[in-house]
Chains A and B, each alone.
Chain A
Amino acid sequence: MNNLKVFVSSAIFSFRAQFDWLNPAMWITMKFVLSLSQMAFFAFVGVFAGASVPFIAIGNALQSLSWNTVFSVINITGHDKWDGTLPLVLATPAHRMPLFIGRAMIHVVDGLISVAISFAFAAFIFGVNFGQADVLALTLTVFLTAFTMAGFGLFIGGLSFFFRNPMVFANIFTFVLLIFCGVNFPVQSLPTVIQPVSYLFPLTYGITAARSAISGGNLIQIAPTLALQLIVGFAAMVVGFLFFRSFENSARKTGKMEAI
């Protein structure tokens, strides 16, 4: 019961903390602006290049959740350092696992809202046809993608405890997804030697499964892809937690927290 309270309060506080620097109206505005502008930019580049606009729109719709589950989750680490709350977090007797994972969980919900908004843009502006979509398969895909990408965000967030400026990691790992995860072009368009890197990101599996579900693929057909996604996302979360514990041990010994 105590662990559940830690999990829930971590989730709520990590989400509320962003309103220290962002007002709710701006938060909602940005959800619409970021989703639409990124999708529109690549759609126009795609039109110019003669690529498929629906393909690009679906990829960017799924990628939009990275702003919440990767960028925001990594920045929790950054804000803990800047705001001076990291020593307090590490001083609490709370169990570390719910504390660490709970911080990312409301961002999963936030990411789901981003995808819903992006799918609306994809359907009404960029011509994506959801008429054949398997709704159950698509819903589960989006949920698992948000959850596993939060695991990836925790992995990078855990790693960035060891660095002075986590925002650098937040920027790099939010944007490189656009190259590696098949967002705007198939993974097979990348040079063969770097294609395996694509499969280290849960988003790659999520986008593949979402495209399949939108074109009518059912849950059984996309299950193997989702299983791989879960394995990769869960592994990232566990490694991120190990980074966090390792940082905590090191911080207790050396007294260095914010200014590593």
Chain B
Amino acid sequence: MPETMRVIYSAFRMAMLHWMADPQWVIPNIIAPFVFTTVALTLFKDSTGPFGLYAVLGGGMMGMWGNTIYSSGYAIEFEKWQGTLEEVIAAPSNLMHVITGRAISNALFGLTNMLAVLLIAGLIFRVPLGIADPLLFAVGLILTLLSVSALGLIFASAFVLSRSAQALTNGLETPLYIISGSMFPIALLPFWIHPAAYVLGPTWGIDAVRLATSADYASQSFWAGMNPSFAIFLDLMIMMLITLAYVFAATALFKIVEKRARTTGTMVEA
């Protein structure tokens, strides 16, 4: 196995083992999206239209978001608490590859969060969960997951140098839910927030996933009036371009962060 893949696999395996050793950590990851979905479904219960779609898919997407941000923040924090961050940084393996392995495991947990929200919505709230195009839905979901993970890499690099990763994790979660329009159309947001929404990959991903789920949503999509399959293709292409930009940015940031950590020697006290 090439060295890069071995490092990524080892980091992935270690993250999975950590999770299996203490699975109760899944609760903080999923509780906010579950509660937000429940509140939204209660607020929407007397409304007609694709509201259930917004609440359930939005809640699921928030589950993935929450998991990524939370895991990115706490991955570094745990290393600090356990006194292993110095070893991880000092090891000859590329820090970016270590974090990538963890990000992939976080993405998998994120997917389970989304499935949990969908199951809860279906079983408890009896929200119909029919999917118009299961193949495009799955493709959209997986690519969105990758995009969220790539964004998580950027957060993780910043969190290495911050003593306040835990606070940033709590503080970033809800603003990102708002800006990406996870539970309502971003048209409701003030105009000056729209550019921020458009540079978030998941904004496009959730549009694609909603389009693949229900024909009722087509009129509210970014591409209203266009053939839904082509609209999904456009959404996914834009999201992939943004994801690539995230990966390049994260790579550059990791180099800067690693160099600074080695030069100043203050990463644990940071």
Check A33 against B43 for contact (C-beta < 8 Å): no
Cα-based distance from A12 to B125 in the complex (angstroms): 45
* Given A21-B164, A21-B166, A82-B81, A44 and B28 contact (CB-CB distance below 8 Å): no
* Given A45-B43, A46-B43, A185-B42, A168 and B28 contact (CB-CB distance below 8 Å): yes
- Decide if A38 is an interface residue (CB 8 Å cutoff): yes
Residues of B within 8 A of A47 (CB): 184, 188
Residue ID in chain A nearest B168 by CB atoms: A26
Encode contact with A along B204-220: 1 for CB under 8 Å, 0 otherwise.
00000000000000000
Check A34 against B42 for contact (C-beta < 8 Å): no
Query: B35: shortest Cβ distance to chain A, in Å?
Result: 4
- Decide if A1 is an interface residue (CB 8 Å cutoff): no
Q: How many A residues touch the partner, as a band?
A: 35 or more
Check A44 against B178 for contact (C-beta < 8 Å): yes
Check A22 against B167 for contact (C-beta < 8 Å): yes
- Decide if B264 is an interface residue (CB 8 Å cutoff): no
Check A184 against B54 for contact (C-beta < 8 Å): no
Check B164 against A26 for contact (C-beta < 8 Å): yes
- Decide if A165 is an interface residue (CB 8 Å cutoff): yes
> Per a CB cutoff under 8 Å, which of A30, A33, A40, A172 touches B31?
A172
> Per a CB cutoff under 8 Å, which of A23, A51, A189 touches B164?
A23
Check A168 against B38 for contact (C-beta < 8 Å): no
Residues of A within 8 A of B28 (CB): 167-168, 171
Check A179 against B39 for contact (C-beta < 8 Å): yes
What DSSP secondary structure best describes chain B's contact surface?
helix
* Given A22-B167, A34-B174, A167-B28, A44 and B36 contact (CB-CB distance below 8 Å): no
Check A179 against B22 for contact (C-beta < 8 Å): no
Cα-based distance from A41 to B182 in the complex (angstroms): 10
Cα-based distance from A33 to B40 in the complex (angstroms): 21
What DSSP secondary structure best describes chain A's contact surface?
helix
> Per a CB cutoff under 8 Å, which of B32, B43, B171 touches A49?
B43
* Given A175-B35, A185-B43, A168 and B24 contact (CB-CB distance below 8 Å): yes
Encode contact with A along B41-83: 1 for CB under 8 Å, 0 otherwise.
0111101000100100000000000000000000000000100
Check A29 against B171 for contact (C-beta < 8 Å): yes
Encode contact with B along A169-205: 1 for CB under 8 Å, 0 otherwise.
0011001101100011100011000000000000000
- Decide if A37 is an interface residue (CB 8 Å cutoff): yes
Check B42 against A45 for contact (C-beta < 8 Å): no
Q: How many B residues touch the partner, as a band?
A: 35 or more
- Decide if B189 is an interface residue (CB 8 Å cutoff): yes
Check A48 against B54 for contact (C-beta < 8 Å): yes
- Decide if A27 is an interface residue (CB 8 Å cutoff): yes
Q: CB within 8 Å of B: which residues of A?
A: 21-23, 26-27, 29-30, 33-34, 37-38, 40-42, 44-51, 82, 164-165, 167-168, 171-172, 175-176, 178-179, 183-185, 189-190
Q: A40-B174, A44-B188, A47-B188 are in contact. List 19 more A-B contacts (CB 8 A).
A: A21-B166, A21-B167, A22-B166, A26-B164, A30-B167, A38-B174, A42-B39, A44-B178, A44-B184, A46-B43, A49-B40, A49-B44, A50-B47, A164-B24, A168-B25, A175-B32, A178-B36, A179-B35, A179-B39
Q: Pick 23 A–B contacts, CB within 8 A, sort by A.
A: A21-B167, A22-B166, A22-B167, A23-B164, A26-B168, A33-B171, A37-B178, A41-B177, A45-B39, A45-B40, A45-B43, A47-B184, A48-B51, A49-B40, A82-B81, A164-B24, A167-B28, A176-B31, A176-B35, A178-B35, A179-B38, A184-B39, A190-B42
Q: CB within 8 Å of A: which residues of B?
A: 22, 24-25, 27-28, 31-32, 35-36, 38-40, 42-45, 47, 51, 54, 81, 163-164, 166-168, 170-171, 174-175, 177-178, 183-185, 188-189
